[in-house]
Chain A
Amino acid sequence: MSSAAIDHAHDHDHHHGPAKGITRWLFTTNHKDIGTLYLWFSFAMFLLGGTFALVIRAELFQPGLQFVDPNFFNQMTTMHGLVMVFGAVMPAFVGLANWMIPLMIGAPDMALPRMNNWSFWILPFAFLLMVSTLFMEGGGPNFGWTFYAPLSTTYAPDSVTYFIFAVHIMGASSIMGAINVIATILNMRAPGMTLMKMPLFVWTWLITAYLLIAVMPVLAGVVTMMLFDIHFGTSFFNAAGGGDPVLFQHLFWFFGHPEVYIMILPAFGIVSAIIPTFARKRLFGYDSMVYATASIAFLSFIVWAHHMFTVGMPLAGQLFFMYATMLIAVPTGVKVFNWVATMFRGAMTFETPMLFAIAFVVLFTIGGFTGVMLAITPADFQYHDTYFVVAHFHYVLVPGAVFSLMAAAYYWLPKWTGYMYDETLGKLHFWMSFVGVNLLFFPQHFLGLAGMPRRIPDYALQFANFNWISSVGAFLFGFSQLILLLVVIKCIRGGKKATAQVWEGAQGLEWTVPSPAPYHTFETPPDPSLIKAQ
């Protein structure tokens, strides 16, 4: 790869490096700067949400009430969920999209750079608003991250209004981010980069962005209805005034189910980039991956009621939502088999990104299987609101989405910083996370099957042993994330110089620019001969 041909930034006098000082970050419209901001913000939120989780696990270490009172415990479960979903996982994927999509499709920047700046900078304020409620009289949101009415309306603490505005702001941020991603992918591709030549990370993000545009406004509508119910005397969700709390659940999950795919589809894209690199083979079944992603996105709109089988639904409805949910296992299975087939007889090496990617495939599949178990309506009546559900969605979100994010961080870190990260520390981080996460979440399956309900600060004695193990795993997993912080800081400060290609088997336009990627890239489109079929 001739990096000199692409490194032409100094040819024109109006091209310059980043501005100096804080204004660089405040006023930046550069996709790499904004991507970096998103990634650091999401990492900070990951540590904050993780701290909330450790409060929960500390309280549940032993039966009885140890450290916090039940109301604060409820605030912790709520804030942990909200911060992790809206503050850690979603912005992290948006950060990766900002950094990588223009590099992957040969575009000079995102399509709407000023909006890009805006969509990031409103996020810290949204979370400041939300986290500040913890210090208010009456406490912060304590109704669970799903904020079911009437818990979040009639019986909510006064601070709920701050929560509602925070959701509005982060929704606006996500929508702007999604519009930007779609405009970039549809309008800014380099000549020769046809849709079916795009890397899968770009494909999965394109579909994710459409999901965001479809459901974030519905979420905004739901919290607006809550606002009206609380302050303006309407009765959307108030049964006494002719409304219906079950309507809240329908509306919430109409948003909520596509939302869980918003958090996993880009992860599929990341894993589809990493596994071929370290297996030194092309991705098996590229086309089927694209169609599988689109099918999952479509199905996500017609399965929402499986979250609420126990509200009382006609038999026909239960059957429909059960079968539709199970159908999702088909395209998901296609993906898992494709990843396995990619690795099959490949010349594999096991650098840290690959370790995280393989762990993703294995552990995400476990989460997928428990998902199929939960889809079985009669069985769901037993599992509903138990720790089995907690174990299920943490398996798909932590060793699923979060592991893919870590894999992505290790994979592209040399491209971002120009230096190789410390492989020994990276492997240590992986193994501690891997052991920690399984110790943490696997016993929760057994707790749920034995009947332990979720969102309780205290429990019956027979649940003590598994909770003890789970809490030990939580602290192991939580503190090992500091290793990631150390690795990233070390990698920014120096290390072995990274080549442009970084990884021997890496394919794609992002590996044709030097490492670290220059401040401006692809100001003239890349040579079409560099764009290969996947």
Chain B
Amino acid sequence: MTKNVAKGNNKKLAVKLLFAVVGMFAFGFALVPLYDVICDITGLNGKTGGRVEVAEAGQLIEEDREVTVQFIAHQNVEMGWEFKPSANQMRVKPGEVHVVHYRVSNPRDTLMVGQAIPSVAPNAAAGHLNKIECFCFAEQPLQAGETVDMALRFFVDPRLPEEITKLTLSYTLYDITEKSKTAAVASR
């Protein structure tokens, strides 16, 4: 009798613990969006936000303040492209809209697809660099030998903390030719 009771208890406890296991497995996956949210709030890893509407831009320009924005462009693995901003740095007033062009060219003899991923340093400034238009919002397919000037239209949010006088916007270009090929096949 007692043996059967013990057996039942063991099964019950094992099932409960199994639920905990499944819960922790799900929690592991839940950490992925949670991480993105935390990065969004804190600017961790220099993640910038998505597209900002033009109406929001240019409403207020702080005339008596200037910050330096530096532009860096590099390629993740040597993919053989040229990738360069039109200016290395700019003095901008918060609220003012500016444009920088990044020249990319594909000197290879095949079509390649690139994807630029931004990162801003210091982290605290990441949420205050607003992009109205950016080549990083889309994949960039380049035919063999093609050269394109890609535009980045941005403004620095006037709410940028006072102590930050210089921020660096870095783009890393990734070769996603293979990936977009399989995606294209899949979508067909």
Q: Which residues of A contact B (CB under 8 A)?
A: 111-112, 115, 175, 178-179, 182-183, 186-188, 213-218, 220-222, 225, 233, 236, 239-242, 244, 246-247, 250-251, 254, 312-314
Contacts and interface: CB of A to CB of B under 8 A. Distances in A.
Contacts of A179: 14, 17-18, 21
Given A111-B13, A225-B29, 10 more contacts: A179-B17, A187-B9, A214-B20, A215-B24, A217-B21, A221-B29, A225-B32, A244-B39, A312-B45, A314-B124
Identify which of B9, B24, B29, B176 gathers the most chain A CB atoms within 10 Å of its CB: B24
B123 to A, nearest CB: 6
Contact of B28 (A221, A233, A239): A221
B86 interface: no
A178 B175 CA distance: 44
B42 interface: yes
A179 B28 CA distance: 19
B179 interface: yes
Contact of B17 (A213, A215, A221, A233): A213
A241 B179 contact: yes
Contacts of B68: none
Given A187-B9, A312-B45, A182 B28 contact: no
Contacts of A244: 35, 39, 45
Contacts of A247: 31-32, 35
The 10 closest A-B pairs by CB, nearest first: A221-B28, A240-B174, A217-B25, A217-B24, A218-B28, A111-B10, A179-B17, A183-B10, A183-B13, A187-B9
B28 to A, nearest CB: 3
Contact of A221 (B9, B10, B25, B176): B25
Contacts of A236: 32
Given A214-B24, A218-B25, A240 B42 contact: no
Contacts of B13: 111, 182-183, 186-187
A187 B45 contact: no
Nearest to A243: B32
Contact of B21 (A183, A213, A233, A313): A213
B109 to A, nearest CB: 22
A112 B14 contact: yes
Nearest to A212: B21
Contacts of A314: 42, 44, 123-124
A257 to B, nearest CB: 14
Given A239-B172, A244-B35, A183 B28 contact: no
A220 B25 contact: yes
Interface in B6-46: 6, 9-10, 13-14, 17-18, 20-25, 27-29, 31-32, 35, 39, 42, 44-46
Which label, helix, strand, loop or mixed, suits the secondary structure of the A interface? Answer: helix
Contacts of A186: 13
A154 to B, nearest CB: 9
B182 interface: yes
A22 to B, nearest CB: 28
Interface residues of B, number: 37
B31 A254 contact: yes
Interface string B171-183: 0101110010011
Contacts of A115: 14
A15 to B, nearest CB: 14
B55 to A, nearest CB: 26
Given A214-B24, A217-B22, A312-B45, A251 B31 contact: yes
Nearest to A218: B28
B35 A239 contact: no
A115 B123 CA distance: 49
A222 B179 contact: no
Most chain B Cβ neighbours within 10 Å, of A183, A214, A313: A183
Nearest to B6: A187
Contacts of A246: 45
Nearest to A188: B6
Nearest to B43: A314
A314 B125 CA distance: 12
A139 to B, nearest CB: 21
Contacts of B44: 313-314
A65 B96 CA distance: 58
A222 B28 contact: yes
13 contacts: A175-B21, A183-B17, A218-B25, A218-B27, A220-B28, A221-B28, A233-B186, A240-B76, A244-B35, A247-B32, A250-B31, A250-B35, A312-B46
A304 to B, nearest CB: 11
A218 B21 CA distance: 9
Contacts of B27: 217-218
Contacts of B17: 178-179, 182-183, 213
Contacts of B106: none
Nearest to B7: A111
Contacts of B45: 244, 246, 312
A115 B14 CA distance: 10
A179 B45 CA distance: 38
Contacts of A239: 76, 117, 172, 174
B130 interface: no
B32 A112 contact: no
Contacts of A250: 31, 35
B7 to A, nearest CB: 8
Interface hub of B10, B39, B42, B76 (most chain A Cβ within 10 A): B10
A240 B25 contact: no
Contacts of A214: 20, 24
B168 interface: no
B115 interface: yes
A272 B140 CA distance: 63
A213 B14 CA distance: 11
A216 B28 CA distance: 10
A182 B9 CA distance: 12
A233 B183 contact: yes
A183 B44 CA distance: 42
Contacts of A187: 6, 9-10, 13
B179 A240 contact: yes
A38 B154 CA distance: 62
A312 B24 CA distance: 27
Given A111-B10, A254-B31, A213 B115 contact: no
Contacts of B183: 233
